[in-house]
Amino acid sequence: MRTTITFDDDTAAAVDQLRRSGARGVSQIVNDLIRAGLRHREERPPFVQSTSDLGIQVDVANVAEALDLLDGPDHR
């Protein structure tokens, strides 16, 4: 596939530095970087939110009341 992309200054400089340090063209460098990024994304474990039991139940139907309960009435 042929397309036109616009690099930010910092990424253009990094691609140019890679191009000058090896015998590869810009297209090959960009393809290799994209593949590496996609592989890295596949290798990451899925995000799991960690939680802790605070020992209280907060009804968030009334936001002001919930904030008073959690922060105290002096934090308004």
Domain ranges for the chain: 9-43
Helix axis angle, 9-21 relative to 26-43, nearest 10°?
110
Output the pLDDT for position 19.
92
Report d(CA 26, CA 67) in Å as an integer. Answer: 54
Output the pLDDT for position 46.
84
SS (H, E, C) 8-41: CHHHHHHHHHHHHHCCCCHHHHHHHHHHHHHHHH
pLDDT in tens, 13-56: 999 999 999 889 999 999 999 999 888 777 778 889 999 887 87
Output the pLDDT for position 76.
62
Output the pLDDT for position 41.
73
Count of CA atoms in the C-beta half-sphere (13 A) of 9 = 0
**Is residue 12's pLDDT more than 90?**
yes
pTM of the predicted protein model: 0.51
